[in-house]
């Protein structure tokens, strides 16, 4: 089982959408049984909340089901997950500050898998609805590439 955790700041916009996109790609390939997928936030602002209404809307527009309650990342996640994918460099910094020397885990920026080589998935929280469409399209392509990377690496 390969365990993947997507992480952003609040866990109501970007990372639950990333989780839903990854899950839908797994289903398309009948690979759901090979993975455990989750998401979390570095902050505690929205613990227990559903995804942002704008996240749910963009997910629906793209035929994605999104079911998640926001939670905060914990140090236990470093021993639980094989890959932690940060949405932006600020998330990555926060994650690395929390990490206590477990070197087996791979902590990466999701946009390392984006051919455009921008580093951050922009935080859409304070913007308009277009921001969520942009986030969806960035995540869809980066996650497609991430999944191809995983299939090669793990012979799936
Ligand atoms: P996310 O977006 O990190 O993509 O879930 C945000 C959600 C909430 C806040 C910031 C970003 N906030 O400041 O409450």
pLDDT tens digit sequence for 14-62: 999 999 999 999 999 999 999 999 999 999 999 999 999 999 999 999 9
Global pTM reads 0.97
Sheet with 106-109, side-by-side order of all strands: 35-41, 2-8, 83-86, 106-109
Cβ–ligand 1 contact at 12 (below 6 Å): yes
Residue 123 in contact with ligand 1 by CB distance below 6 A = yes
Question: Is 123 known to be catalytic?
Answer: yes
- Ligand 1 near 55 CB (within 6 A): no
Residue from 6, 8, 93, 94 to probe ligand 1 pocket by mutation (most atoms less than 8 Å from CB)? 8
DSSP 78: H
> What ranges do the domains of the chain cover?
2-153
Q: Give residue 128's pLDDT band: very low, low, confident or very high (50, 70, 90).
A: confident
Predicted pLDDT at 118:
86
Distance, in Å, from the CA atom of 131 to the CA atom of 74, rounded to the nearest integer, reads 28
Mean pLDDT of the 116-124 span: 91
Query: The CATH number of 2-153 is which of 3.90.400.10, 3.40.309.10, 3.40.50.2300, 3.40.50.460?
Result: 3.40.50.2300
Active site (annotated) includes residue 8? yes
pLDDT of 102 reads: 63
- Catalytic pick among 38, 88, 114, 123: 123
- Among candidates 48, 44, 42, 56, which has minimal Cα distance to 13? 56
Q: For 126-137, what is the mean pLDDT?
A: 93
């Amino acid at each position: 089982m390969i365990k993947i955790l997507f992480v952003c700041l609040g866990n109501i916009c970007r990372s639950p959408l990333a989780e839903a996109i990854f899950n839908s790609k797994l289903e398309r390939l009948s690979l759901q049984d090979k993975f455990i997928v989750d998401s979390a936030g570095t902050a505690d602002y929205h613990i227990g909340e559903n995804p942002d209404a704008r996240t749910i809307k963009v997910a629906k527009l793209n035929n994605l089901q999104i079911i998640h309650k926001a939670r905060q990342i914990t140090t236990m996640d470093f021993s639980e997950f094989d890959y932690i994918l940060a949405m932006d460099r600020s998330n990555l910094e926060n994650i690395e500050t929390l990490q206590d020397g477990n070197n087996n885990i791979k902590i990466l920026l999701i946009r390392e898998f984006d051919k455009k080589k921008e580093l951050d998935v922009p935080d859409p929280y304070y913007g308009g609805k277009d921001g969520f469409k942009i986030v969806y399209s960035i995540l869809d392509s980066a996650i497609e590439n991430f999944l191809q990377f995983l299939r090669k690496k793990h012979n799936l």
